[in-house]
Chain A
Amino acid sequence: MSLIVAENVSKDYQVVATRVSKEYQTGEIVVRALRDVSFEIQPASFVSFVGPSGSGKTTLLNLIGCLDKPTEGKLTVVGTDVLKLDRHESARFRGEHLGFIFQDFNLIPVLTVFENIEYPLIIVKNTPAAERKKRVMAVLEAVGMADQKDKYPDQISGGQKQRVAVARALVSDPKLILADEPTANLDSKTAYTIINLMKKMRDELKSTFIFSTHDQRIVGEAEIIYSLSDGELVDKQVKGGKQNG
């Protein structure tokens, strides 16, 4: 499969959004979840989208994650114009380039910790068994869950589940990791641990982390913070400086 590489987009950016809008039809009412949002994200960034509920954070992450498509505008992710991908190409693209961390962890209950992390390598990437084992053990060590590898998700705590989810997102070595409210179901201490783990992984693997949150405890942990309000990008803060969106 050849992915459609966007024209005139610098390879220096992992994500380029140009006047992206998203509308939903709910019955007869049209809801504009995003309005003319434009931004760029560089590789190995640690970025958060913040804002109150309904501000469009999740919608934006879904668009970047190729789970949904913009109604208007242009969106390039890892050099690919995602608007041109069909259903199968989107799935393949996600498996190839993206990692996901969910608010509710979304681990597969019938698989052990090891198998949950191994899943993308088996089902998505068809990685050979020996290589799989090596990579899974490496990320398990990195997230500090090696000793829990044979447990099932219902046998570990919420924080541990999210560590496993981080490991699963990282195991296939994606360029971009998307986390939608990754700390919403965790206590403060665990939330910090998870964010710091994500940051550590970014430093080690040079992957780009983008997460959405309205959790004031961890907002400041991001290096670039985009603020959303009513579907519009209203502010951009860069650690050490501030830049209006």
Chain B
Amino acid sequence: MGNLFKIAVRNLFRYKRRTLLTVSLIAIGVIFVLGYVSIAGSFKNMMIGQITDSMIGHLQVHRKGYVASIENLPLNMNLKSPAFKKLEGILNQQPEIEAYSPRIKFGGMFSTFVETTNIRLNGVYPEKEIKTIPLLPSRIAEGDKTLKKGEILIPELLARGMKVKIGDMIVIVATNQDGSVNGKQFKVAGILESATGPGGRDGYVHIEDAMEVLRMEEFEISEVAIRLKEFGQVEAFTRKLDHLLSGEVNKQGKPVFEVHSWQQLSPFYNIARMIDMMTIFIQLMLIAVVLISIMNVMIMAVYERIREIGTIAAIGTLPTKIRSMFILEGLCLGVIGAMIGNIVGAVIIFILNVSGWVTFDFGRQKGLVLSPTLDPMNMLVISAIVIIVSVAASLQPALKASRMEPIKALRHV
């Protein structure tokens, strides 16, 4: 095999310019795919990070049926205290969980005493919420990075529209479960940057203030947001938790809880899937580039070397060895192209990463800096695709060479 390999490499050097062009084409294809995969992948990861770490968390638990009516923020679908205690007991036993945060979600009227508008609010324990969605403090553009009782964090669009500043007093008026209305005065402690996705324009109050506004006599919550230690475990843990909670049923024998991962809660998941689909299409294009270029080169190589094939066949080279010789040539082209592509691609991505040149706007978020990173698995997969396709592209010309009648090949002019 080593000698066949040596001959294959020598044959590639026979037509240096053609080999260089083919290798360059493959390398450029690999560079583009690596670039696309790393930039698109970084964009995807960044957006998923933004969504999960600044609003949703990795997964959420609600009372069964809550998510179907989540737009209405139905207070009558809250989890009551005994249910939450059961849930808390289960969550505390899960080693995969890093933090979780119970929330009361409600809608209300936001009044500056001069003007009034609508607002959606989350009543939270600030320390638990920050552990669960660690990007929350970074969204506080103005004011303290904390939230105390009697204070409110409001979204920047609302602050701008209502001309509210830090330290202003406002009133939140909300309709309670029994239909009565209650109000409470809050001090504006911070202004939140908007974030793309569900809950990205919600305000925050302390959970005890939320209970007071909503005149809740007992502790109850709308949802529990959960953060896992490993993001990659989301799907598996969602299934596990769903299974664990499926045993909790109400008096009618129906499940009490429902578990949703961020994918099920955020429309961005569809964009993430589109990015994955586009990655597959880009890889298909790479396959086409490698297939066509190597097949073209190998067909030409066979055509140009017909007499040579006749000679080696005449002196006793078995058809299988002739086939291997040409397949090895294609393999070498693929391996060299993939290697150069990976090296150059990695350097380019490193430069992009260090320079911070790749910026983009997403929704109201301006100038987000992408940090493209290369996943070694991506490099391996792309290299494997190139190498496998190179061998596949060489098969037909190699078979043609091995099936040549030596006598006809020797007569070829």
* A123 x B321 contact (CB < 8 A): yes
* A106 x B308 contact (CB < 8 A): yes
B7, B307, B321, B407: the one within 8 Å of A68 (CB): B407
Q: Map CB proximity to B onto A163-187 as digits: 1 under 8 Å, 0 otherwise.
A: 0000011000000000000000000
* B316 x A92 contact (CB < 8 A): yes
Size of interface on A: residues with Cβ below 8 Å to B:
29
Q: Which residues of A contact B407 (CB under 8 A)?
A: 62, 67-68
Q: Which residues of A contact B357 (CB under 8 A)?
A: none
Taking CB as reference atom, which chain A residue is nearest B314?
A: A100
* B14 x A109 contact (CB < 8 A): yes
| Secondary structure type dominating chain B contacts | helix
* B316 x A88 contact (CB < 8 A): no
User: A146: CB under 8 A from chain B?
Assistant: no
A93, A100, A110: the one within 8 Å of B14 (CB): A110
User: A31: CB under 8 A from chain B?
Assistant: no
Taking CB as reference atom, which chain A residue is nearest B406?
A: A67
* A91 x B3 contact (CB < 8 A): no
Q: Which residues of A contact B11 (CB under 8 A)?
A: 110
| A71 to B312 Cα, complex, angstroms | 25
| A99 to B311 Cα, complex, angstroms | 11
User: A56: CB under 8 A from chain B?
Assistant: no
Most buried by A among B14, B310, B319, B407: B407
* B308 x A124 contact (CB < 8 A): no
* A108 x B318 contact (CB < 8 A): no
| A62 to B310 Cα, complex, angstroms | 12
Q: Map CB proximity to B onto A87-114 as digits: 1 under 8 Å, 0 otherwise.
A: 1100111111011101010101111000
B245, chain A: closest CB distance, angstroms: 66
* B315 x A120 contact (CB < 8 A): yes
Which B262-307 residues sit within 8 Å CB-CB of chain A?
307
Q: Which residues of B contact A98 (CB under 8 A)?
A: 316
Counting contact residues on chain B (CB < 8 A from A), the size range is: 20 to 34
Q: Which residues of A contact B308 (CB under 8 A)?
A: 106, 108-109
User: A226: CB under 8 A from chain B?
Assistant: no
User: B4: CB under 8 A from chain A?
Assistant: yes
Give the number of residue pairs across the A-B interface with Cβ within 8 Å: 68
Decide yes or no: A87 and B319 within 8 Å by CB, A110-B13, A111-B7 being known contacts: yes
Decide yes or no: A122 and B311 within 8 Å by CB, A88-B319, A92-B316 being known contacts: no
* B410 x A95 contact (CB < 8 A): no
User: A119: CB under 8 A from chain B?
Assistant: yes
Decide yes or no: A119 and B315 within 8 Å by CB, A108-B308, A110-B10 being known contacts: yes
User: A65: CB under 8 A from chain B?
Assistant: yes
Most buried by A among B4, B7, B316: B316
| A119 to B118 Cα, complex, angstroms | 86
User: B395: CB under 8 A from chain A?
Assistant: no
B4, B7, B314: the one within 8 Å of A94 (CB): B314
Which B72-131 residues sit within 8 Å CB-CB of chain A?
none
User: B317: CB under 8 A from chain A?
Assistant: yes
User: B349: CB under 8 A from chain A?
Assistant: no
* B311 x A95 contact (CB < 8 A): no
| A3 to B312 Cα, complex, angstroms | 21
Decide yes or no: A102 and B311 within 8 Å by CB, A67-B406, A110-B11, A111-B7 being known contacts: yes
Q: Which residues of B contact A68 (CB under 8 A)?
A: 407
| A167 to B282 Cα, complex, angstroms | 53
User: B313: CB under 8 A from chain A?
Assistant: yes
* B10 x A111 contact (CB < 8 A): yes
Q: Which residues of A contact B4 (CB under 8 A)?
A: 123
* A123 x B311 contact (CB < 8 A): no
Q: Which residues of A contact B319 (CB under 8 A)?
A: 87-88, 91
* B10 x A94 contact (CB < 8 A): no
| A98 to B317 Cα, complex, angstroms | 12
Q: Which residues of B contact A88 (CB under 8 A)?
A: 318-319
* A100 x B318 contact (CB < 8 A): no
* A120 x B316 contact (CB < 8 A): yes
Taking CB as reference atom, which chain B residue is nearest A68?
A: B407
Decide yes or no: A96 and B7 within 8 Å by CB, A109-B14, A110-B13 being known contacts: no
B358, chain A: closest CB distance, angstroms: 45
Most buried by B among A96, A98, A102, A110: A110
* B10 x A100 contact (CB < 8 A): no
Which A60-82 residues sit within 8 Å CB-CB of chain B?
62, 65, 67-68
A116, chain B: closest CB distance, angstroms: 10
Taking CB as reference atom, which chain A residue is nearest B313?
A: A91
* A110 x B316 contact (CB < 8 A): no
Decide yes or no: A92 and B318 within 8 Å by CB, A62-B407, A110-B7, A122-B3 being known contacts: yes
* B7 x A95 contact (CB < 8 A): no
Which B395-413 residues sit within 8 Å CB-CB of chain A?
406-407, 410
| A96 to B318 Cα, complex, angstroms | 12
| A122 to B315 Cα, complex, angstroms | 12
A67, A104, A110: the one within 8 Å of B314 (CB): A67
| A109 to B310 Cα, complex, angstroms | 14
Q: Which residues of A contact B14 (CB under 8 A)?
A: 109-110
Decide yes or no: A91 and B317 within 8 Å by CB, A110-B14, A123-B312 being known contacts: yes
Q: In the complex, given contacts A88-B318, A94-B316, A110-B13, what are 5 additional A-B residue pairs having Cβ atoms less than 8 angstroms apart? A: A93-B316, A100-B315, A102-B410, A108-B311, A123-B3
Residues of B within 8 A of A (CB): 3-4, 7, 10-11, 13-14, 307-308, 310-319, 321, 406-407, 410
Residues of A within 8 A of B (CB): 62, 65, 67-68, 87-88, 91-96, 98-100, 102, 104, 106, 108-111, 119-120, 122-124, 168-169
**Closest 4 A/B residue pairs (Cβ):** A95-B316, A110-B10, A106-B311, A124-B316
